[in-house]
Amino acid sequence: MIDFKEFVSRSMDGPVMVAQQFDLKLSRSLRRIAVDHGIHFKPAEIICDDATADAIFQAAVELLVQSGIYNVDTSRVIHLMREELETTRRETPKQVTLGTGEDAVTVAARSHNSPVVPHGFRWPLVHCHHQGKETFLSEMIEAHLSAPGELGDLARELKPWLTGVQNKAGTVGDTMWAIAVARWNLTVAGMVGRPDMFVGTVGAITEPAILACFAGERVYKKHHASYSMGTMPELKINWLNICNWHSSPGR
């Protein structure tokens, strides 16, 4: 796998290119490579056949080699070698442990016809991603305002805190709502006796809000949740993405 310092170095020393030029090159390469590898969309196939899957993988490698990854903060292209990508493929972990302690589960890579039964599932794994988290959280808060116990206390705390706060990307409101969802999830997990379980992806829009969910008390630790890298499909990255990649467990 490419060394972190080397990745940073290429972000500083790679070829300079404006974003529109990179987008145009990426678009042209994508169309040409799809044709070269004989990739065709087959609406009748819910799951593509093995030959198509292999062609897509090889096309993806070719695309990365030809286009590289664009660092929007430095306006430079991070070039990748085919050998580096192959090494990364070999070194990618084949399993990951989610949660910790008694609440940990291990998720391993399996093929579609694998005879191996998934292991490590003492408890079901809960993976939740809230679409429209304002509605989800608002309904939960309203339902528990008069309830006793932890959820009632949390609902009465969050109600005035979120009243009048708009959940909009790039504002403090996004961060406030994301932290509120995280606290609600952790409270529920604790109430059912699974305080260290993995609860899914962070319910946030922007990267600052995602990071805020891991930055303070009564919010996520790294074993509680995951977050998106935000690189695909446009093959663009920034300094914050790179730092997330370097610090993410199991990378």
Q: Exposed/middle/buried for 86, CB within 10 Å: 0-12, 13-18, 19+? A: exposed
**Mean pLDDT value of segment 99-124:** 72
pLDDT at 231 over 60: no
**What is the spatial distance between Cα 87 and Cα 80, in angstroms, rounded to a whole number?**
11
* Residue 124 DSSP symbol: P
pLDDT, tens only, 196-220:
988 888 877 677 788 888 877 789 9
Distance CA 42, CA 55 (A): 14
* pLDDT value for 17: 96
| 151 contacts 223 by C-beta, under 8 angstroms | no
pLDDT greater than 90 at residue 146: yes
Q: What is the pLDDT of residues 51-72, one digit of tens each?
A: 888 999 999 999 999 999 999 9
* Cβ burial, residue 179 (10 Å; 0-12/13-18/19+): buried
Look at the pTM and tell me if it is higher than 0.85.
no
Minimal CA–CA distance to 178: which of 242, 129, 222, 223?
A: 129
Amino acid at 116: V
Phi, psi for 125 (deg, rounded to 5): -90, 125
Domain boundaries, the chain: 4-91, 133-228
